[in-house]
Structure 1
Amino acid sequence: MTDEQAQIYLLSKPFTSLDYPFGEDVKVFRVKNKMFATIALGQTAKSAKTSDEAKTYFWMNLKCDPHEALILRDIFPSVIPGYHMNKSQWNSVILDGSIPQGEIERMIDNSYNLVVSKMTKKDQASIQLHL
């Protein structure tokens, strides 16, 4: 999945908006003003150490159940603890093409649903009407 495909999928969610509170280099995706994803360009530490030509990829931070976060990190080398986020509740997904698109979409859906589940009943109801 490319960063553009991820952005299109993220923005397809009801009541989702795009914001740049951390500068123009970090895209922040919110549902009713609650952050559920970010996308930024970054360099992998692994590639910087192993190659003269360090590779840069887009990274997507997604909220995740703490138990599932650990499982995803074990399964996919491109899923690491959330960069600049709470490491137990956020994962960083390196968009290097190694993770199937359907799996990334599932992770996005989970992040969105986790954030919505913490909202007021009224906000949850208004969102559920559009799902």
Structure 2
Amino acid sequence: MNVEEVRAYCILKKGITEEFPFDEHTLVFKVLGKMFALLPLERLPPQINLKCNPELSLKLREKYDGDIAPGFHMNKKHWNTILIERISPSLLKELIDHSYNLVVSKLTKKQQAELAKLKE
């Protein structure tokens, strides 16, 4: 996948907004105001930061050494930096889904109900 394909996949999710809260080069995807993905648009090689379960993070970093690393400029326990062109598109989509679902699971019940009412 490339950066445009990653962006297209992320914005398909319910309740998503895109913004540039840090600088004009880092696109941030949020679900109901909570970050689940950061996509630096000009970084080479292309990469994405995704939230991840801490136990899964460790397994992924070990299995994909060099391609999945602790989150750059993020909480290393809960975020991974993934080189998007060096892992399979199916794995990348799984990890985007995992990050999104992890954030959704931490939303309040009221926010989850609001999200459920939104059209896909």
Q: Corresponding residue for 1:87?
A: 76
- Unaligned ranges ≥5, structure 1: 43-55
What is the Cα deviation at residue 126 of structure 1? 2.7
- Unaligned ranges ≥5, structure 2: none
Aligned length: 117
Q: Corresponding residue for 1:118?
A: 106
Q: Is 1:29 equivalent to 2:32 in the alignment? A: no
TM-score (norm 2): 0.91
Q: Corresponding residue for 1:51?
A: none
Distance across 2 between alignment mates of 1:33 and 1:126: 13
The residue matched to 2:46 in structure 1 has which SS? strand
TM-score (norm 1): 0.84
Q: Is 1:104 equivalent to 2:86 in the alignment? A: no
What is the Cα deviation at residue 125 of structure 1? 2.2
Q: CA RMSD in A?
A: 1.3
What is the Cα deviation at residue 86 of structure 1? 0.3
Q: Corresponding residue for 1:71?
A: 59
List 4+ stretches of structure 1 deviating above 3 A.
Answer: 128-131
What is the Cα deviation at residue 22 of structure 1? 0.8
* The structure with more radius of gyration: 1
The residue matched to 1:57 in structure 2 has which SS? coil
Distance across 1 between alignment mates of 2:5 and 2:61: 22
What is the Cα deviation at residue 34 of structure 1? 0.6
Q: Corresponding residue for 1:127?
A: 115
